[in-house]
Structure 1
């Protein structure tokens, strides 16, 4: 699931791609190659990896039929995906149900480890790459698209193999009453964009309206509960569709890593986020307090995260970016570790890890394998360090690439939302 915001209807989609000249296209391509070399990023896949991926796309439905007897058959459960309008792969789907004393939320994740396992060339390639890199209008994939966008993608109206996280939540406080994680077969009813999900919430007669509305009510409660408990929320004005997906994925990731640590007591790829020093937090809050039109509510100073949350909710729109930047400057980098010691400061979670995006993050792929096999790789510490290094490299490459686009007169966000189109007439090129 991409976290990139979808372009609003009637803006980027209507405007069409950003037009550039052939010469500028060559400059941009050369810049990408320079960044790939600088940060040791790999764009093309080795032939044996592509051959292996191609082979795993054959006889898909027959293979799924053979698997049904050994999996939970969830195909009759109303299920849907929500992704950006330009998403090419769909690695998570959701379902929800209300019962007398509980809510049940299912997060279905593409069962990538059924196809990509430690004995495969694709696994080695995924480990080497660490994650998918999303440059504006250009994606460097962790897994071959021929696999990720077909059998591993939870496309609508087709049976797919999944790894399901089933969460039974208490009606009073949405705490976990029970967590089950198992292999399944699902059948997504629809592939929705964020905009379409927003529309469904406003259309009582639309398909899936009741399910989406119920899940939003739960997600909104989860969001408010996280804030009350001290979870940092740097984007308080996120729309309803994004709130649903963000909260469901956080809840599922937290459920899986709690299962791994408390119930199994095993090492895994945990996400650890150290906290800034008290002086660093003081510097950030002082910088925020000095912004024009911004005031930190007096009753929130005891916890810097709550202070930032309260300030962002009241601050004028023009100052949101500066507040966010003041916080990000003092935040240590989150890293992957083989135990959850220290927890996740920004989320205020004692234990946290990644599970919901195995198509685009090696950390999630490894955790899928550990959950499925209860088998911890011998080189787990090395895998954690490598995943952290690759994420840092990807973020650095993206930052330099966006800066370069600005230097040549392009708006990186427009490029990201609208894509690029090469036109022969340089004077007609649109660098907006």
Structure 2
């Protein structure tokens, strides 16, 4: 179970050109998208008022930052970088890390969207309606106007940006938070790093950011192993080091913010709640897994189904991994947003949990940023939670149907997602035609 965009799991195809299709096939894809957007009430175009407001708000980002420096922490000298899929269009989060005498000092810098998008603006109302960004292969429907999502808010490299930073001192032995500090900042990303870049830099001692990535992985691997030991469900045991770094850093930051909102401030917010399957459902899933050829659930793991699945995935033949994952996913209830966090997050095995690290693309994170900053909870927070849960489900269903359609017309969704699409005039130049 990951907190990161599912695109990250599809892998990358760096170095290859876009998938070339002819104009007729391009029209078929456009018609299918329009059909799906109408069915799921996904707003593809922004109202003129929203676009005007975004352009006015983003008219002078450099001047805005100069003014804001008076009231923010200046973190521009910190070594800071982003790590995202090769095809990412917006960069919500960046990381900085240092070793301390007692462990680690980890900064997770999040795009400060609420500086630009606040309640009682047209942009806020539009974001509330959209609920999230919808990512289709080679086509994105943003929650925020692109001038904000892809430029002014996005933590692009070699530019100063406004951020909401979660600074954590982490004990090297227990991995618990020694301290949590959440504040507005100005940051400067030194690099836009893909997952492949990260792996390459971890391998090469002379590569840029080698030491920073290595230290981040050292901490992330410890956090990952602790989560597994505590009973957090890990359905992707073969994930690479780059994904491990980002997932664990974001989970740690989200937990820190959730702790602050619930225990230190006692505020309602948009918490992420994941109900657990019934004991019977878990038994059925484990029995299905146990009957797979070449698969055996360790005898000492049966008491906790999540640990049983983790242990089985570690030892199972590669050909059975998808079947094990599917057996688990079939019985898992959907996670949802709720103003009351209690019930916890079953898959992660967290007592309380919420989202904070992706305000460019998720309504929950945008709202939680506002609550952290103002100590004020928007009216109707329960209804917002229900709406965000519904829109997330609609977006995921739309994405699944569109991927199925791509396969029906002969296109590989992963290739389209990773390489993009180029429409060519001459069908003879196309890889795919209608």
What TM-score range do you get, normalising by the shorter chain? over 0.9
Matched, 1:394 2:395: yes
Residue aligning to 1:209: 210
User: Does 2:5 match 1:5?
Assistant: no
The count of aligned residue pairs is: 430
The aligned counterpart of 2:312 is: 311
Deviation at 1:18, TM superposition (A): 2.2
Q: What secondary structure sits across from 2:14 in the alignment?
A: helix
RMSD: 1.5
Q: Report the Cα offset of residue 191 of structure 1.
A: 1.2
What SS does the corresponding residue of 2:38 show, helix, strand or coil?
helix
Shift in Å at residue 205 of structure 1?
2.1
Q: Which runs of 5+ in 1 are unaligned?
A: none
The 8 Å contact of residues 22 and 432 in structure 2, kept in 1 or not, is answered as no
2-structure distance, mates of 1:407, 1:6: 22
Tell me: CA distance 1:50–1:206, structure 2 relative to 1, closer, same or farther (3 Å): same
In structure 2, the residue matched to 1:127 is 128
**Structure 1, residues 75-105: CA drift from partner, whole Å, max 9, x if none?**
1111111111121221101011111113110
1:62 is displaced (CA, Å) by 1.2
Measure how far apart 1:16 and its partner are: 2.3
1:285 and 1:219 map into 2 onto residues whose CA distance is 29
Q: Secondary structure at the match of 1:5?
A: helix
Does the 8 Å CA contact 2:8/2:84 hold for their aligned counterparts? no
Partner of 2:189: 188
* SS of equivalent to 1:393: helix
Query: CA-to-partner distance for each residue in 1:6-48, whole Å, 9 max, x for gaps?
Result: 7767xx3344222222222111111111100111110000001
CA distance in 2, matches of 1:323, 1:89: 33
Match in the other structure for 1:24 = 25
Residue 296 of structure 1: how far off its partner (Å): 1.2
TM-score by length of 2: 0.96
What are the superposed Cα offsets for residues 163-186 of structure 1, whole Å, 9 maximum, x if unpaired? 000111111111011111000111
- CA deviations 1:125-145 (Å, max 9, x no partner) are 111000001111111110011
| Whole-Å separation in 2 of the counterparts to 1:426 and 1:153 | 37
Whole-Å Cα distance in 2 between the matches of residues 167 and 101 of structure 1?
Answer: 12
Q: Which residue number in structure 1 is paired with residue 249 of structure 2?
A: 248
Alpha carbons 1:6, 1:85 under 8 Å: kept: no
> Is 1:92 paired with 2:82?
no
Aligned to 1:383: 384
277-286 vs 205-214, greater mean Cα deviation: 205-214
- Counterpart of 2:175? 174
Larger displacement relative to structure 2 (244-253 or 287-296): 287-296
The offset of 1:69, in angstroms, is 1.5
SS at 1:275 equivalent: coil
Name the residue aligned to 2:358: 357
Q: Tell me, yes or no, if the aligned pair for 1:411 and 1:431 is still in contact at 8 Å.
A: no
SS of 1:150 mapped into structure 2: helix
Matched residue, 1:49: 50
Is the Cα contact below 8 Å between 2:297 and 2:309 reproduced in 1? yes
- Map Cα deviations across residues 373-418 of structure 1 (whole Å, 9 max, x no partner): 0000111011000000000100111111111111222221121112
Q: 1:403 and 2:404 equivalent?
A: yes
| Map of 1:421 onto structure 2 | 422
1:295–1:315 contact (8 Å) kept in structure 2: yes
Is contact 1:291–1:319 with CA below 8 Å preserved after alignment?
A: yes
State the Cα distance separating 1:316 from its structure 2 match. 1.6
Distance in 2, matches of 1:13 and 1:105, equals: 29
Q: Which residue of 2 aligns with 1:78?
A: 79
Decide whether the 8 Å contact of 2:14 with 2:86 is kept in 1.
no
Q: How big is the shift at 1:255?
A: 0.6
- Deviation string 1:303-348 (CA, Å, 9 cap, x unpaired) is 1101111111111222111111111110001000001010000000
